[in-house]
A and B are shown apart, each in its own frame.
Chain A
Amino acid sequence: VVPGVDSAARQLCFEWGPAEMLVCETLFGGRGGEPLDDRCQQSPTPRRFLAGAGEGRPSSSSVFVVRKDQDVYVQTLRKLFNESHGIFVGLQRSEEELAGKSRKAHLVQVSKNYRSVIRACMEDMHQAAVSARDPALHSQYSTQVSILSAMELIWNLCEILFVEAAVAGPLLIRLLDWVRLHVCDVNNMVREVLSSENPSKHELFWNVVDVFVLQGRMDEARHLLSKEASANPTSLTMCRVLDDLMKKMPVPSLGNMQTLTELELKWQHWHEECQRYLQDGTFASNSHMESICKVLLGDENAILEKKELLTTWYHFLVTRLLYCHPTVKPMELRCLKCLSFIMSCYLPPQSSMDLFLGGESSAEPLDIILMAAFEFEIHQVIKECSIALSNWWFVAHLTDLLDHCKLLQSHNLYFGSNMREFLLLEYASGLFSHHSLWQLGVDYFDHCPEYGRVYLELHIERIPLNTEQKALKVLRICEQRQMHEQVRSICKIMAMKALRNNRLGSALSWSIRAKDAAFATLISDRFLKDYCEKGCFSDLDLIDNLGPSMLLSDRLTFLGKYREFHRLYGEKRFSEAAKLLLMLMTAHIAPCSFWMTLLTDALPLLEQKEIIFSAEQTYELMRCLEDLTAGKSDKQKFQDDDVETMKVEMLRLALARNLARVIVKEGTLEGS
């Protein structure tokens, strides 16, 4: 049944691996066609009927190894993964201990720790970018830096709004800090301006003053103004007035010394004062100062004029809040209808066209995320982040933190905790595809109540066990979590591997750990066989110290006991050795195939000068020998070589002689 259509179509054949995926070109359904790589002309004869006709076709298709979660492999991000792991684990542990107010402080601290890790990572990445000579590498690093800085920006905002949940007053201060932290162009400008000989004449001078005002950095703005005043006596009065206004500006304090109404009242007064100065034309002669005064009054157009300096819509938003509504409450942010309008001012013109047509469609993911945050749409934030960011690190950790803030439950308990777990599982699965970071993943799985364990079980058995140390490490993790099946499987794999490489000792110890009786039997047999061939044991330490694990399998017991016999013999404790030897046969611990060897081992004991085997024991030995020979049919006897028959004869002789001696001895003993 060959659908002989579409012979030129190529298809992909693939296979999942633990961390990677194989993809290769093929044609399914046994239809004919040429291999892809060299599109040599061939007759489209259905391949199925050409089975074996591969010769002469110069085809060498490729197999592609596709790897996901590439971020895991970025060296510089290792630090991020490693350090955030510590914070994550700490956060899960501290969960029970903390309550009430200290809990919130603690969570904020945790959030800050995460951010400092991002920052540190960003710094490293930046260094790497600077030192990278290869342009491709350089741009790669730069991309990472910008992603990380966006992450930090989002995280910081989430920290202010969700984790710390700052109240009116402090909220604005936090937002200002946030803007100052992330809009840092000004610092360069300041440096440039201040380092010039005559700062107030510098072309960027007023820009710098504006930026300071826009960011609410009044002290610095005043400092610059004083320079202008000293350089330019004509504007001295104006500067003084402006300076005074700036000084008097009431700001919300973190210390909670004043009530909101108090602040609002003060604000009102100050506002009126500004208004007065503006109206009586104090600043009329200096457009720069006039616009600053307008900004102080919260004049939207005046602020918008400084669009270039604000650089981003969220800077604009915060500035506007500062001068229009300094006591903004968290919930009021949400209702800021102007949000999308504000954004529109900062988007490229063609997109603002779209904007009026329908929503914020052309906004950047980063904008959408920040917007969602301002609107307190936590789920939206997480969703957008997971779309925009190239790895799960950010969403997994942020969601977990927010979950600890009890923010997700308030939305919907079921989805909330589920989403946290979903993201953590994804992140940890990504870690598991890395050859060393997987160990971090273990702890993440541990903190996923629903599927964590199953995921861990599935992932951990796929860890390549290249070395014994690695196997032991994996084993320890499994043992700590009572994952018996995985422990067994790992030991079995290792035992199999050791056996294949003829390392019997190691194979035995692994199979004892796996409590695999059948395999232990098999390896014991190999040991005994080796002994028969070479006449000595390997891995004596192991066999001597079997202890109770000897009971795992009969054969292993025998191996241990037989070795004990050798030891006793070596220590010249002949009678004990003889007793043990006999016991091995009479109690049927020894496999029948091995009896001949045991009897042969008895030979030197029988031939000792002093008598070791008692009469009774000798009878037993003889019975064993006869059982053994009688068990074989005549046919088999024929096949047995001469050595074997000679051995039997020798044994019989030795046994008879020993019996004779022992009868005489025992007789004399009784007689006396």
Chain B
Amino acid sequence: MFVARSIAADHRDLIHDVSFDFHGRRMATCSSDQSVKVWDKSENGDWHCTASWKTHSGSVWRVTWAHPEFGQVLASCSFDRTAAVWEEIVGESNDKLRGQSHWVKRTTLVDSRTSVTDVKFAPKHMGLMLATCSADGVVRIYEAPDVMNLSQWSLQHEISCKLSCSCISWNPSSSRAHSPMIAVGSDDNSPNILAKVQIYEYNENTRKYAKAEALMTVTDPVHDIAFAPNLGRSFHILAVATKDVRIFTLKPLRKELTSSGGLTKFEIHIAAQFDNHNSQVWRVSWNITGTVLASSGDDGCVRLWKANYMDNWKCTGILKGNGSPVNGSSQQGVFNASLGSVNTSLQNSLNGSSAGRYFFPPLDSPRAGSRWSSHAQLLPPPPLIEPSCDADPASLQYPHPRRRCVSRPLNLLPENEGV
């Protein structure tokens, strides 16, 4: 079951990104109002805004947390052509009393000449590193050599991708077998057939990032890209948000002996491709174990994708936006009623094996004396999840029992979703 609760973000303009910290106890939001807000979860589960400050002189596109090993550090990037690194200062008692924290700008990264579209911290085993990408097609990798002094960042690498960049993703694998790797997506929409996803790998010998692969099959603008957590696999999984959702596997091929120390070549397979959004897909992201992929598109839905234990991917849930206006949008707490459409579709659940969940209808009323009343009461025809009124029928089409593939348990692959 799902519960959605709302928090009035109180940004004066559109929110572009929300970001949880590593432990999920804090979050940051950034907005076109040029500010970033930090929210802390209190012991009783309420979220409170503990900081809000102007970060840039343009829309803030993305905000992201560094690993807590490096302290409380945020990075943001903006239309104002900069990215910035922020650190929380443990407040004076005065601030603490008011429940406010203080964030100071540690550095401004001004190398880009165009809007900085994405910013991501590298996996922690690489140290405190930060990658940015910008609309002029350059990926920059910065490093803070002294983790205690965040005002010093040196530009380590500049990778020219030739295409306007929209998103980057670090490969999270900490395995020694894998060199640092970063995937870059481009939202260039000029009519060309250039690959819109490029993968760069760090070469120990040249100490540079070099292009290892390009996903030639992706020629439409790419809006987001995400490597899945590795789970000790030898291969990598990359999700791409373009005109549809695609999941690629990248299997490193054994390095040729002749080109020792050269770039790894990959065997690329497309593991899944979903066009259920029927539109551009804007975000993709994995849960922490990399078992569920979420994507959102122009249809205003967040769809959840999950592989079952036989590695078949399918949609397991849809989160719908709230069409009806929320009364007094600043109210806090559970609001089942007003969030009706969200909740019904939420009930589709993240459950891997179900495309829809059924809840046993409630007992009419416990009859006096009869403790668990008989199951006859469980039998009246149940409302098999009432589809929300504005749900598109395609997405809410639950596999009919008869059409289920009996020989493959837990594997209800709804039509035209598999590959």
Contacts and interface: CB of A to CB of B under 8 A. Distances in A.
Interface in B190-214: none
Nearest to A421: B309
Interface stretch (B31-39, B105-113, B259-267): B31-39
Nearest to B166: A29
B372 A122 contact: yes
Interface stretch (A59-67, A95-103, A291-299, A541-549): A59-67
Instruction: Tell me the interface secondary structure of chain A in the complex.
Output: mixed
Interface stretch (B243-251, B268-276, B279-287, B386-394): B279-287
Contact of B367 (A12, A38, A57, A188): A188
Given A51-B32, A312-B374, A387 B354 contact: yes
Contact of A464 (B25, B280, B354): B25
A413 interface: no
A367 to B, nearest CB: 8
Contact of A359 (B15, B354, B402): B402
A105 interface: no
B255 interface: no
Contacts of B321: 10, 12, 25, 36
A650 interface: no
B59 A47 contact: yes
A190 B399 CA distance: 44
Contact of A29 (B7, B223, B409): B223
A301 interface: no
Contacts of B374: 182-185, 311-312
A39 B329 CA distance: 12
Contact of A28 (B27, B88, B223, B355): B223
Interface in B50-79: 57-59, 68-72, 79
A68 B3 CA distance: 7
A50 B20 CA distance: 28
Interface stretch (B150-158, B177-185, B344-352): B344-352
A648 B23 CA distance: 52
Most buried by B among A48, A348, A390, A419: A390
Given A361-B402, A493-B69, A71 B34 contact: no
Interface in A416-471: 418-419, 421-422, 425-426, 429, 451, 454-455, 458-459, 461-466
A23 interface: yes
Interface string B269-309: 00000000000101101111101001011101110000011
A667 interface: no
Interface residues of A, number: 129
Interface in B378-419: 378-382, 400-402, 406, 409-412
Most buried by A among B164, B187, B229, B379: B379
A68 B300 contact: no
A52 interface: yes
A146 B285 contact: no
A11 B297 contact: yes
Interface in B3-22: 3-20, 22
Contacts of B232: 454
Contacts of A36: 321-322
B257 interface: no
A402 to B, nearest CB: 12
B297 A26 contact: no
B300 A11 contact: yes
Interface string A329-365: 0000000000000000010100100000011111111
B326 A387 contact: no
Contact of B15 (A25, A149, A361): A25
Contacts of A492: 69
A312 B31 CA distance: 58
Contact of A71 (B1, B23, B115, B289): B1
A416 to B, nearest CB: 10
A17 B24 contact: yes
Contact of A18 (B71, B288, B291): B288
Given A15-B20, A22-B18, A361-B400, 15 more contacts: A14-B319, A21-B319, A25-B15, A64-B4, A64-B342, A68-B350, A142-B366, A145-B363, A311-B375, A383-B410, A392-B351, A454-B232, A464-B25, A493-B69, A496-B69
9 contacts: A3-B189, A39-B325, A47-B32, A48-B79, A57-B13, A65-B47, A146-B362, A366-B379, A388-B360
The 8 closest A-B pairs by CB, nearest first: A422-B309, A54-B13, A54-B33, A379-B409, A17-B24, A51-B58, A28-B282, A17-B20
Interface of A: 1, 3, 6, 9-30, 33, 35-39, 47-48, 50-52, 54-55, 57-71, 122-123, 126, 129-130, 139, 142-143, 145-147, 149-150, 153, 182-185, 187-188, 191, 311-312, 346, 348, 351, 358-368, 377, 379-380, 382-383, 386-388, 390, 392, 415, 418-419, 421-422, 425-426, 429, 451, 454-455, 458-459, 461-466, 485, 489, 492-493, 496-497, 500-502, 522
